[in-house]
Amino acid sequence: MTQITICTAVVVDDQAPVTIHELAQCCEQQIEWVMTLVEHGVLPALRQSAPPEGWVFASAAVARARQVARLQRDFEVNLDAAALMADLMQEVRDLRLQLRGF
């Protein structure tokens, strides 16, 4: 029996913004989920226009949104808990970088 593994990759440019549709697709979520992240302050939008279809995000938002989605899925927690976990994980990464500088 042959086993096939399919992997997907998204090339993200630090300088190129992503639309709300692209962000939702990268996270395998609905646009409404992304809108909820913005409304709760979990994810900042670079540009918020009247219809959400015009919203634009920094490319770094893709990694944060994917992380929040994974935390919600893996630990079955609500959005607030997943956002807090993501913030704490980022804080640990930042502190480790500071320690390496000493």
Structure confidence by residue, pLDDT tens digits, 24-66: 999 999 999 999 999 999 999 998 887 999 999 999 999 999 9
Give the residues across from 18 on adjacent strands: 57
Report yes or no on 40 lying in a domain: yes
Report yes or no on 86 lying in a domain: yes
Reading the block at residue 67, the tokens are 């992380």
* Host domain of residue 80: 18-100
Task: Write b or e for each residue in 18-34: b if 16 or more Cβ atoms lie within 10 A of its Cβ, otherwise e.
Answer: bbbebbbebbebebebb
**Among 59, 55, 66, 60, CA closest to 26:** 66
CATH number at residue 33: 1.10.1660.10
Whether the predicted pLDDT of 98 surpasses 90: yes
Q: What is the pLDDT of residue 4?
A: 85
Give me the chain's average pLDDT, please: 91
Report yes or no on 33 lying in a domain: yes
Does the predicted model carry a pTM greater than 0.85?
no
Q: List helix spans (H) across 1-102.
A: 20-26, 31-39, 60-75, 79-100
CB 64 within 8 A of CB 43: yes
Reading the block at residue 88, the tokens are 């704490």
Report yes or no on 59 lying in a domain: yes
Report yes or no on 77 lying in a domain: yes
